[in-house]
Amino acid sequence: MQWKTVVIPPTATVQQLQGFQDLLSSVALNRKVEDKLPRIVPETIVHDFRRVLGDLMMTENVLQTLFLLQTFFLSVDLIGPNAERGCLSFDEHAKQRGCDCVVYQSTGQRDALTFHSPNYPTAPNYPRGIVCILLSFIGDRNETVEITFIDFNLRPKENNTCKDFLKLYLDEQAAVNENSVHEYELCGDKSSLPQKTFYSRGRSIHLEFHTESVVISNPYKGFIGKYSFIDSSEFQTTMTRVSRDVSPCSYIDRHSNDTHSKGRFFSPSYPQNYPSWSDCSYQFFGRPGEVVKLTFQVLQLAGNTTSCNKDQYQDYIEVYDGVNKTERIAFICGNGGVPSIRSRTNYLTVHFHSGQNINMKGFAATYEYLIIDIAAECNKNITQASSPEGTICSPRYSHPYPADITCTYDFYANPGERVQIKFTHFNLYKSKIYSEVNGDCKLEDSVSIFIYEDYDEATAMFCGDTLPLQFMSANNWMRVRFVSNPSPGKGQASGFEFQYKFRKDFGITTGLQSFGDRNRPLCHFTYNSKMQKVGNFTSPNYPGVYPSVTNCQYVFRGERGERVTITMDNFDVGLRSETNVCGGQNDHVTFTCYSHEGPDKGFQPICGVMQSLLTKRVSDGEYFRVLMTSNDNYEHTGFLGRYEFGKGYNVFAPTTPSPETLSGRESSSPRGPSLDVISATLLGLLVCFYMNTAMS
């Protein structure tokens, strides 16, 4: 039996379809037309085909008829293993090559339909010895063809060569010829495909299927996929292309009263894969008082998906605020979702770069011009649930901010947690009075921080262009207020930017944190010798100013026979009293070898600004505890502590030099300064020994 395929044009009338039915009847009855046209379908199925076609004629619906005819052709597998050479309604080159053809013609429908290899899925494998089967998907003008493989299972490569394969032609018109060059040659299973979905560059895609005639154990079942015809206008940018003489891939959009406030743009060749070594520019010019919002709907870039770097193997997108590539606000690579991006001014520039990678689909994005509502932008309530971390900028950052505005940002953390802010840019307008009053911020543009919700007096106020230190709330609430005075002309003052984060760990990133009732986080951290012998610990919010009304404990647990050595660098905790005594209402740090509450007379509290050697303390046993107490000030940066667990310790060697020795002022005592240290150390050891004995 010899099988053939026939193309039914989408313009066929009911009368033409009736004529085709008569033709089938003639073939089935073995009439004389056989010398003009070989059998089109096996005689055994002509009766069923005539019945289906006859039923369709009753509908007088040509489009439905075409759709169901196409479905019928596939369902009866009119592609056989012994197909005769030649194609009906196909080009001469295909006839010479002996390709049997199936044509999928657009009917104006947008629903996805199915195509598959011979015998799929009714038989366990596809036939051997297929010389050439050509599947052609031809759309109307202004249509793009999309095919997606649902399942793909061909014989894998042998010696890096495909024996059974499917060639893809994506850049052709209605037919292939001797000059056609395929883009892909596919074999193996679905995981070996470079991608699952392919798009035409024009209005057609052709698939050329071959299998070897050699008989093998063939467990391979072939392929099945879906195809659809998409309106090509969906992939046309609404931006204006700059002259090709300037750049082959450069676009611009200027918003005016006569243009739309939103549009779309794409990577080159989208939805097909973008070419290698592309550099494309997209510039957006909004009207004064507007910003530009970008939303990436599709993002598929080649390269490293775990980290973004500028190199020859990385494809990426850069987004800049303004028309000059000076202030980058986003760097994008890899695949997946990207949050919406918004410019800070009315200008925005996007740069796309591709290297030498095996390229991918690229991106599809929309843009929109938005009118700035300064009141809405300036006043925000930010909760931990809605936004656990983020960035706040002054209006129109990093360009001069407007005059006579007040912005208030309130932060609400969960109970027991803190709010931390870190300024990354700070440049406020300074009046002539500023220098005359020695930097008083009360009459200047300023940023103030409030830590008590029921107390309307700023804890800290910043102005000028000095970057403030990192700041942390004393409880679960903080307010940041920006005031721009009415004075016109802010010069080149670019405003401020700070990052905020809600924190459970008080900004202390080492040790094992403890939690209290209802899982409330505590400023209590444990360091175990079994986990780490040497390490660091810090005051809360280090290297920023530590928060007020905060008590923190650091517990060190060594193994049997070990001692703990503590040294504190950059020590700045509170102020010494007039009597040079630490403790009481002053911020201070204490040390103890006890696990219970109460002072350890062997170790005096320390405070003020101290050198590292003066802070060195060594425990008597394997247990040691450091306590930090802060009261009501936001002026000091705390400490960076170092700990070390070690075996034994020589109690007669001085560990804490006296301040007089460090400053070069030798003591007049004939014992030398070290005797005082030895006496104090011995006293501490005796007290620890006595207390431990009494407790045991």
Higher pLDDT among residues 137 and 25, named by residue: 137
**489: which 2 tokens?**
């002309």
Cβ atoms of residues 546 and 607 within 8 Å: no
How many residues appear in the chain? 696
**18: which 2 tokens?**
């009736």
User: Treating both helix axes as pointing N-terminal to C-terminal, what angle do 43-57 and 62-75 enclose, rounded to 10 degrees?
Assistant: 160
**391: which 2 tokens?**
């960035």
Of 125, 65, 76, which Cα lies nearest the Cα of 102?
A: 76
Beta bridge partners of 427: 495
Cβ atoms of residues 374 and 395 within 8 Å: yes
* First and final C-alpha spacing in the chain: 102
Cβ atoms of residues 635 and 619 within 8 Å: no
Distance of alpha carbon 434 from its chain centroid, rounded? 43
The pTM for the full model equals 0.53
Question: What is the predicted pLDDT for the residue at 45?
Answer: 40
Minimum mean pLDDT range among 97-101, 263-267, 277-281: 97-101
> How many Å apart are CA 377 and CA 303, to the nearest integer?
36
Question: What is the predicted pLDDT for the residue at 68?
Answer: 36
Helix (H, G, I), strand (E, B) or coil at 688: helix
- pLDDT tens column, 407-425: 999 999 999 999 999 999 9
β-strand pairing of 512-515 with 521-528: antiparallel
> How many Å apart are CA 598 and CA 593, to the nearest integer?
11
> How many Å apart are CA 598 and CA 54, to the nearest integer?
101
- Sequence-distant (6+) residues with CB within 8 A of 145 are 137, 138, 139, 199, 200, 203, 204, 205, 227, 228, 229, 230
- pLDDT tens column, 581-629: 787 788 999 999 987 776 666 788 999 999 988 889 999 999 999 999 9
> How many Å apart are CA 592 and CA 304, to the nearest integer?
51
Of 26, 66, 32, which Cα lies nearest the Cα of 50?
A: 26
β-strand pairing of 133-138 with 100-105: parallel
Question: What is the predicted pLDDT for the residue at 397?
Answer: 81
Of 355, 280, 278, 352, which Cα lies nearest the Cα of 311?
A: 355
- pLDDT tens column, 118-156: 989 888 889 888 888 999 999 888 899 999 999 999 999
Beta bridge partners of 331: 318
Which residue's entry shows tokens 């596939």?
74
Which residue's entry shows tokens 């012994």?
82
β-strand pairing of 418-427 with 471-472: antiparallel
Question: What is the predicted pLDDT for the residue at 57?
Answer: 45
Assign 202 a pLDDT band (cuts: 50, 70, 90). confident
Cβ atoms of residues 273 and 360 within 8 Å: yes
Question: What is the predicted pLDDT for the residue at 247?
Answer: 64
